[in-house]
Amino acid sequence: MKYNVIDVDASSLQEKYKIGLLSAKLLKASHLDDEEVSELFATDTTLTTSKADCIQKCCKRLLQARGNNEKVMIAGDYDADGICSTTIMKMTLMKLKIEHGYYIPDRMKEGYGLSAHTVELAHQKGYSLIITVDNGVKAHAAIQKANELGLDIIITDHHQIDEEIKTPYVVHPNYMESEYCYLSGAGVALQIARNLIGDNDIQTAFACVAAIADVMPLWKETRRIVKRGLTVLKQGRPRSLISLLNPGSSIDMTSISFSIVPKLNSLGRMSDLANVNTMIPFLLSNNEEQIAHYASQVNQINEKRKEISASISETAINMIADEKFPILYQEDFHEGVSGLVAGRIVSQLHRPVLVMAKSHDTIKGSGRSVPGFNLFDFFKDFENLVAFGGHEQAVGISVPIEKFEEFYQQAQEKMAKTGYEYIEPVQDAIRIDVEDINFNNIIDIDCFTPYPKEMIEPNFALEGMNVVERKETAKMVKYLIANSSGGFEAVLYKNRNIVAPILPKRLIGKLSINRWRNRTTCQMILEDIV
């Protein structure tokens, strides 16, 4: 990453909003409109409840199911958002005392979304109503099968709708008030829950984790969900989610992204080792012994996932030759981690990558891209694909084995025609003075959290600082920087592969408060050193 150090005069904003200098500089550099600024400063985390017709229709049908003693099946998804959505919906039906079950498909054997086969099985088991969570807008075959069998099906989803959904029950942000346009799948489920059983902090915590997992825009109701959810999690609730935090982690968006979310995802990815459906009773448990036991198992599966990912990444990177578009296929690659491996390689090569493995009579894989290269648009017109879906930065593709060579050549030829060349992104870093780094200014920046992606990264640049001491360990390099507030530490983690000079001329990084062993200090986590 390259950085462009910018000077920002924010004295007028500092006075206008009565905020600290660093907050004012960050606000000025982000070029937000008045409505966005107003949302940033909002302190009320009270959630609202959509009264959209689509939700009222859904709720009426669920209450009808209760009145008729019908069995309802929740059809979930195997990622963090889908797992949290399933948990929220199950909590809701339990509260309403509606007879129900749930099912999350096997990622490797069944793939994404509700299938016609699952609908048939639900019918055989006496279910008369199916409600999807975090999936369904593309489940046209399943909807058709439900219609044929006389089952009602409620679709609740937040993914892009490409064609007509042939069921009268569709709950989607597109059909809700504008306040709810950024909801995740769990956010949609939460709105249904709020209409049926009212406010529930635990459900909000699950929706918070889901919004972070799906990297939803942090505005409007989604912003309130995340802010309120973080408050609940900091209270130690629910215990199941808290048990998935890495030891010593604080509770914030970063720790959720890097500890809770990967562990939620791990059971879906490693479906050959575990059944993701077991996540739901774990997440709903209040028994400390059960929680500890299951959390230990989840941690073990996640460690296995990391081990397999690292091994495949090493093999895959060594397979790359001179192709314009690396499509890395090996029969025994683990399908569940293909997206993770592709993402890791993209970060090294800075070009789109597809990692694929054999899956029955197809070759199946995941692609990841770089900012500015739309991977979905690249593949959307390819013929002979068994399955295809995704978005600009990530796709899933299945190709018949006999068509793989043709698919590979088509990708290389098309990539050559694009003329794509990687341009290293440049990120702004705000120049500040060493005396600006103190507790008040850093705490003040936190008023903007959770940071929406429309804000510039809160990176600050220091020059001409007095380095008092340099310490080096196996994992990090620490600089002790002097100022009139008692000084602070600038920390560089070695996994960033950045040279740490004895006397740096420029430091770029993010500011935070470090609390460790009853000691509280200011610190700068370094992104770059000159």
For residue range 242-251, what is the model confidence (pLDDT) as tens digits? Answer: 999 998 888 9
Q: Of 418, 449, 464, at which residue does a domain stop?
A: 418
In sequence order, the 6+-apart residues with CB closer than 8 A to the CB of 359 are 108, 335, 398
Q: State whether 214 and 71 are in the same domain.
A: yes
Q: Is residue 48 part of a domain?
A: no
> What percent of the chain is modeled with pLDDT above 70?
100
- Position 316 in a domain: no
DSSP bridge pairs for 250: none
Q: What is the pLDDT of residues 155-206, one digit of tens each?
A: 999 998 989 999 999 999 999 999 999 999 999 999 999 999 999 999 999 9
Task: List the beta bridge partners of residue 528.
Answer: 508
What is the chain's mean pLDDT, rounded? Answer: 95
Give the phi and the psi of residue 422 in degrees, each rounded to 5: -70, 130
Q: What's the CATH code of the domain at 232?
A: 3.90.1640.30
In this structure, the answer to whether residues 275 and 199 fall within a common structural domain is: yes
Tell me the torsion sign for CA atoms 98, 101, 104, 110. negative
User: How many domains in the chain?
Assistant: 3
Contact 458, 449 (CB under 8 A): no
For strand 387-390 and strand 394-400, is the pairing parallel, antiparallel, or unpaired?
Answer: antiparallel
268 inside domain: yes
Which residue do the tokens 């199916």 mark?
Answer: 130
495 pLDDT band, cuts 50/70/90, is confident
Q: What CATH number did the domain enclosing 408 receive? A: 3.10.310.30
pLDDT > 80? residue 101: yes
Q: Looking at the structure, do residues 271 and 410 belong to the same domain, yes or no?
A: no
Tokens 């409620």 belong to residue: 154
pLDDT at 418 over 80: yes
**What range does the domain containing 12 cover?**
2-43+426-529
Determine phi and psi for 460, rounding to 5 degrees.
-120, 150
First to last CA, the chain: 13
| In a domain? residue 196 | yes
Contacts of residue 59, defined as CB under 8 A and 6 or more positions apart, other chains included, come to 192, 195, 196
Q: Are residues 363 and 283 in the same domain?
A: no
Query: Do both 119 and 201 map to the same domain?
Result: yes
435 and 510 co-located in one domain: yes
Give the pLDDT of residue 391.
83
- Statement to judge: residues 406 and 431 lie in one domain: no
Higher pLDDT, 517 or 51: 51
d(CA 316, CA 348): 12
My answer on whether 336 and 437 are in the same domain is no
Q: Are residues 130 and 252 in the same domain?
A: yes
SS3 521: strand
Residue 74 lies in a domain: yes
